[in-house]
Amino acid sequence: MAPFSIPLMTLLVTGGAGFIGANFVLDWLATSDEPIINLDKLTYAGNPETLTSLQGDARHQLVQGDIGDSALVSRLLAEHQPRAVVNFAAESHVDRSIHGPGDFIETNIVGTFRLLEAVRGYWGGLADSDIREQGLAPTGAADKPTKAGFRFLHVSTDEVYGSLAKGDPAFAETHRYEPNSPYSASKAASDHLVRAWHHTYGLPVLTTNCSNNYGPYHFPEKLIPLMIVNALAGKPLPVYGDGMQIRDWLYVKDHCSAIRRVLEAGRLGETYNVGGWNEKPNIEIVQTVCKLLDEMRPKADGSSYASQITYVTDRPGHDRRYAIDARKLEAELGWKPAETFDTGIRKTVEWYLANPEWVAHVQSGAYREWVNKQYA
């Protein structure tokens, strides 16, 4: 008898050339043959070099494009008939959002809105022509059947909940939204849109709100990779304010496993907080990075990398503390992180030491040349 085989479906991943999205794509295709269409605008944060190991792999197709391009998204959905969309695409750096919030409003809010509309047109209730002809779908009654089993998973952040005081309990899903930066406000708005598209139109959505990620392929503008690459380059390690701001850290592959689990078994319309119970003040993170580098790549003069730590002017409106209560995800879906902070940060420092070329291409801008050549 011929072996029974389950037909392979497809995922549409957005922002899959960025830090978390690319880790998700790589992890997914390491354990599954289900194809991924990867829609990424390839902004400064999108790095196809991260996906080099998938070159020539028929299971992965990278498409350069904007989640706000309704016609493109509708075409990809119609062509590939994905069983789910996982939305990582966003502008993600708080400091950039302070200096130039426009792109954050454009991608995180307007882009998410347009993506939701294109997805709604695909999922059902609207004719494809509505999307194609008008750019946006009108509201109105369903005029075609919905796609059974389809899911839209929106990847978001704990920063939407605002800042905690010392002693406050960690953010649960029921915590009110109090975003403080242009970044977190734009992500909060996107979460609200996703929620509204479920309640109003019945779109089958899931939202995850995760704490700070770290790990391989992290763009070196964020705290941990910036400290590693600056330390190795002999540059100052800029710590904002008194360095006592607290973040809750999760190894990126644990975030990816949580997303896989929510995609698989999460209840539609629900939000799930993702975190590993790892609250740490920034200065402790920087000191840990220095200690690991002292051990793995000691400086020739015998001094510690910690001597490069420099306190600098604080970020405006800097949130003091984030902490995630992930008990809903743990209890309902049985998810647990595989890494402790100690194991995850060691793996991260090892990865940066083992991949100087990836770092050098980001720093020199050579990864942009690669993008321009491929997609000219």
Residues that bind ligand TYD (CB under 6 A): 94, 212, 222-223, 226, 238-240, 245, 247, 282, 315
With CB under 6 A as the rule, give the number of residues binding ligand NAD: 32
CB of 221 to ligand NAD, least distance (A): 9
What does residue 284 show for φ and ψ, rounded to 5 degrees?
-65, -40
Pick between residue 125 and residue 256 the one whose CB is nearest to ligand NAD: 256
Task: Return d(Cα 117, Cα 123) in angstroms, integer.
Answer: 10
Q: State the Cα–Cα distance between residues 205 and 329, nearest whole angstrom.
A: 16
Task: Identify which of residues 157 and 308 has a Cβ nearer to ligand NAD in the complex.
Answer: 157
Q: Which among ligand TYD, ligand NAD, none contacts residue 345 (Cβ within 5 to 8 A by kind)?
A: none
Q: Is 305 known to be catalytic?
A: no
Q: What angle is formed at CA 343 by the lines to CA 337 and CA 344, rounded to 5 degrees?
A: 65
Considering the rule CB under 6 A, would residue 260 count as an interface residue with ligand NAD? no
Window 148-177: residues binding ligand NAD (CB under 6 A): 155-157
- State the DSSP H helix or E strand holding residue 41, giving kind and residue range, or none if neither: none
Q: Does 77 bind ligand NAD (CB under 6 A)?
A: no
Report which of 289, 309, 286 is spatially closest to residue 350, judged by C-alpha positions: 289
HSE (side-chain half, CA atoms, 13 Å) at 204 = 19
The active-site residue, picked from 66, 69, 117, 183, is 183
Where does the chain have alpha helices with state H? 19-31, 70-80, 94-99, 102-104, 112-123, 128-134, 182-201, 223-232, 252-265, 282-296, 327-333, 341-354, 356-364, 366-375
- Residues of this chain, 172-211, that bind ligand NAD according to CB under 6 A: 187, 210
Helices (H) and strands (E) in the chain, counts: 14, 12
Which residue's CB is nearer to ligand NAD, number 42 or number 239? 42
Question: Which of ligand TYD, ligand NAD, none does residue 293 bind to, with CB < 5 to 8 Å depending on kind?
Answer: none
Contact 309, 286 (CB under 8 A): yes
294 carries an active-site annotation: no
Say whether residue 68 binds ligand NAD (CB under 6 A): yes
Binding mask 104-143 for ligand NAD (x = CB under 6 A): ---x---x--------------------------------
- Annotated catalytic residue within 66, 69, 130, 159: 159
Q: Which residues are catalytic?
A: 158-159, 183
